[in-house]
Structure 1
Amino acid sequence: MSTNPQTSPPAASTSTVAIMLLIDAVLIVIFAIIGVSSHDGDLGILNIARVAIPFMLPNLLLAVAIKPGQLIHNVFPTGIALWLITVILGPVLRAIMFGDSSAMAFILVTAGVLGVFLIGRRIISTLVNRRQKNA
């Protein structure tokens, strides 16, 4: 009996999932570094953490709830959901944790940058995975 690859996510090792979670976290830190450097200029660890942590928390919490195979390569709906939840809850947590407000321009830039980073990473990993399977 064969399984339909469209409905069954690829098997994922624990180390692969951990690496992909780490890559997502690094991408969020890069987003924070870009933001801090373009506004404040002070790239101290606390300034970067103040921007990154509110976006990392919803991303990591949702990632824990997702099946590992879907976390790695699945662009839709998993990647889109992770991106949307991160973009929506990040500014909310930023306001709650640090009292920082988020202008609409910030939210739009956040959505764009994290969309390219988080969804783009999944597209790239999907293409690499397909290429490895076909090789």
Structure 2
Amino acid sequence: MSPRTVLSAAVLDVLVVLVFVVIGRSSHAEGITVSGIAETLWPFLAGTVIGWVACLAWRAPISVPRTGVPVWLATLVLGMVLRVVSGQGTEVSFIIVAGIFLGVFLLGWRAIAVLLTRRRKPLNP
């Protein structure tokens, strides 16, 4: 995989987690401040990074089963565990919403990328 693809994948994952946090904070009337976003973001971002390392994501960054699923699960599970450890809330409804949002977007952009990559390849005669 090219370094550009790996970097793009990492940036997209970070953006998905950041958008999740910003939407969540704004929908609950929490302040959209740098410190507030950072406080909510760090557990999930740590989960994302750990997921990347655990599944060696740089080897197949757009693969849904090999990279997307482990990164999604690490982001969700480790994010929630780190929230508990740091004294932040983890209501069941929040876990469900987080799981759905992160799953749709961390897996979704990869599925789209795979489809686009397949379309660009010329058919072999």
Same fold (TM over 0.5): yes
Q: Any unmatched runs of 5+ in structure 1?
A: 1-11
- Counterpart of 1:68 in structure 2 is 58
The corresponding residue for 2:48 is 59
Pair 33,24 (structure 1): closer, same or farther in 2 beyond 3 Å: same
Runs of 4+ in 1 over 6 A off after TM superposition: none
Q: Percent identity?
A: 35
The one-character-per-residue Cα deviations of 1:8-41 (angstroms, maximum 9, x if unpaired) are xxxx111210111011101100000000000134
Aligned residues: CA RMSD: 1.5
1:75-123 CA distance string (max 9 Å, x none): 11431121112111101111223x1120000000000000011000110
Task: Please identify, of 73-82 and 109-118, the stretch whose mean Cα deviation from structure 2 is larger.
Answer: 73-82
Aligned length: 122
- Residue 99 of structure 2, aligned match among 111, 115, 124: 111
TM-score, normalised relative to structure 2: 0.89
Question: What's the secondary structure of 1:42's corresponding residue?
Answer: coil
2: CA distance, partners of 1:115 / 1:24: 11
Unaligned runs of 5+ in 2: none
TM-score by length of 1: 0.83
Matched, 1:89 2:78: yes
